[in-house]
Amino acid sequence: MGFVISAIVIGGGLLWILIRSLQGKDVDRRVVFTFIGITVCLAVLFQLKFGESATPIVKAAFDKIEQLPAGSKIVISYDFDPAMAPEVHPMANAFVRHALAKKHKIYFFSLWATGQSLLEVTVQDILKKEFPDARYGIDYCNMGYKAGNEGVLNVVITDIRKMYPGDVNGTPLDSLPMMADVKSLKDMDLLISIGGGKPGVKEWVLFAGDRGGIPTAGGAAAVSTPLLYPYYPRQLVGLLGGTKGAAEYESELIKRYPQFANIDTPALQMMGPQTMAHVVIVAFIIIGNVSYFRSRRKKVTNG
Partner 1 sequence: MKRQIPLLIIVVVGWVLMFSVFIPPMESWGEEASLFFDIIAVFAFFLGGGNLLRVHFTKVSRKSANWGYSVVTLVGFLAMLYVGLFKIGNTGGIGAPLDATGSWFQLLFKYVMSPLQSTMYSLLAFFVASASYRAFRAKNTEATILLIAAFVILLGRTPLGTILTAWVPDSFSIAQIPNLAIWIMNSPNLAGQRAIMIGIALGVVSMSLRLLLGIERSYLGSDN
Partner 2 sequence: MLKSQSGLAAAEDHAVRDAFLLTLAAFLTLSIYSFLYGDNPFYRFAEHLFVGISAAYWMCQGFWSTIVGNFIPRTLPSFAEYFQVPYKGFSWHYLIPVALGIILLMRLVPKLSWISRWPLAFIIGTTAGLNLPRYLQSDFIQQMNNTFISILPDWQGIGPFFSTLSLSAEGQLAMIATNLVIFVGVICGLIYFFFSKEHKGAFGVASRIGIWVLMVTFGASFGYTVMGRISLLVGRITFLFHDWLNIL
Task: Point out which residues bind partner 1 (CB under 8 A).
Answer: 17, 27, 29, 32-33, 35-37, 40, 50-52, 55-57, 81-86, 114, 116-117, 120-121, 124, 142, 144, 146-149, 151-152, 154-155, 158-159, 162-163, 168-170, 211, 226-227, 229-230, 232, 242, 244, 271, 274-275, 277-282, 284-285, 287-289, 292
| CA 115 to chain CA mean position, Å | 13
Closest to partner 1 by CB, 193 or 224: 224
How far is residue 48's CA from residue 269's CA, in Å, rounded to a whole number?
Answer: 8
Closest to partner 1 by CB, 64 or 89: 89
Closest to partner 2 by CB, 207 or 260: 207
Q: How is 56-114 classified by DSSP, letter by letter?
A: HHHHHHHHHHHHSPTT-EEEEEEE--TTTHHHHHHHHHHHHHHHHHTT-EEEEEESSHH
How far is residue 202's CA from residue 52's CA, in Å, rounded to a whole number?
Answer: 27
Q: At its nearest, how many Å lie between partner 1 and the CB of residue 152?
A: 6
* Residue 87 interacting partner from partner 2, partner 1, none (CB closer than 5 to 8 Å by kind): partner 2
Q: At its nearest, how many Å lie between partner 1 and the CB of residue 72?
A: 26
* Residue 284 interacting partner from partner 1, partner 2, none (CB closer than 5 to 8 Å by kind): partner 1
* Residue 190 interacting partner from partner 1, partner 2, none (CB closer than 5 to 8 Å by kind): none
* Residue 106 interacting partner from partner 2, partner 1, none (CB closer than 5 to 8 Å by kind): none
* Residue 215 interacting partner from partner 1, partner 2, none (CB closer than 5 to 8 Å by kind): none
How far is residue 219's CA from residue 79's CA, in Å, rounded to a whole number?
Answer: 10
Region from 3-11, 68-76, 100-108, 164-172 binding partner 2, contact rule CB under 8 A: 164-172
205 binds partner 2 (CB under 8 A): yes
How far is residue 179's CA from residue 182's CA, in Å, rounded to a whole number?
Answer: 5
Are 236 and 218 a contacting pair, CB within 8 Å? yes
Q: Where are the alpha helices (DSSP H) in the chain?
A: 2-22, 29-45, 56-67, 85-101, 113-122, 128-130, 150-156, 160-163, 201-204, 210-212, 225-228, 242-256, 266-301
Q: At its nearest, how many Å lie between partner 2 and the CB of residue 222?
A: 3
* Residue 120 interacting partner from partner 1, partner 2, none (CB closer than 5 to 8 Å by kind): partner 1
Cα distance between the two ends of the chain? 50
215 binds partner 2 (CB under 8 A): no
243 binds partner 2 (CB under 8 A): yes
Instruction: Classify residue 137 as left (phi > 0), alpha (psi -120 to 50) or beta.
Output: left
Angle of the 266-301 helix axis to the 2-22 helix axis, nearest 10: 20
Closest to partner 1 by CB, 72 or 171: 171
204 binds partner 2 (CB under 8 A): no
- The neighbour count for residue 49, using CB atoms within 10 Å, is 16
137 three-class SS = coil
213 binds partner 2 (CB under 8 A): no
Residue whose C-alpha is closest to residue 280's, from 3, 7, 5: 7
* Residue 261 interacting partner from partner 1, partner 2, none (CB closer than 5 to 8 Å by kind): none
Q: At its nearest, how many Å lie between partner 2 and the CB of residue 229?
A: 9
In 126-189, the DSSP E strands lie at: 140-145
270 binds partner 2 (CB under 8 A): yes
